[in-house]
Amino acid sequence: MPIYTYQVIKADGALGDVFEIVAKMSDPALTVHPETGEEVQRVYQAPNVAYRYTEMAGKQKFSNKNLDKLGFTKYQKEPGGTYRRMAGSGPEYIHKDGKFNN
């Protein structure tokens, strides 16, 4: 179940204490503090996205440095049909005619 954050609103309109509560997504939002009965408002926060599923994590997994560290070889196509080694070991270039350059 998600954790929701609420903030107490004082009688004079000032903001009070912040607290968290675990509730079902289908439960209605709180309007009063469950213990004190004071008026509350929900505090919206950025979602906690697991790092391994972000775009940046994907880029790091397939970076030349990481591929080299894991023992993979990566070639990138260049103009003219030549492939240049970007990570790993092997010939520096592979030409479209099958020749290699070290």
Tokens representing residue 96 in the block = 């479209």
Show the beta-strand stretches assigned E in the chain.
Answer: 3-9, 15-22, 40-43, 74-78, 82-87, 93-94, 100-101
Question: Which pLDDT score, from 0 to 100, does residue 51 have?
Answer: 67
Which residue in 75, 69, 73, 72 sits closest to 95, CA to CA?
A: 75
If asked whether residues 59 and 93 sit together in one domain, one would say yes
Whole-number pLDDT of residue 49 = 67
Phi, psi of 76 (to 5 degrees): -120, 135
Q: Do 15 and 34 sit in the same domain of this protein?
A: yes
- Among candidates 51, 18, 84, 75, which has minimal Cα distance to 4? 18
Would you state the pLDDT for residue 45?
84
With 90 as the cut, is the pLDDT of residue 46 above it? no
pLDDT at 84: 94
Average pLDDT over residues 53-75: 89
The domain tally of the chain equals: 2
User: Is this structure's pTM higher than 0.85?
Assistant: no
Are 26 and 58 contained in the same domain? no
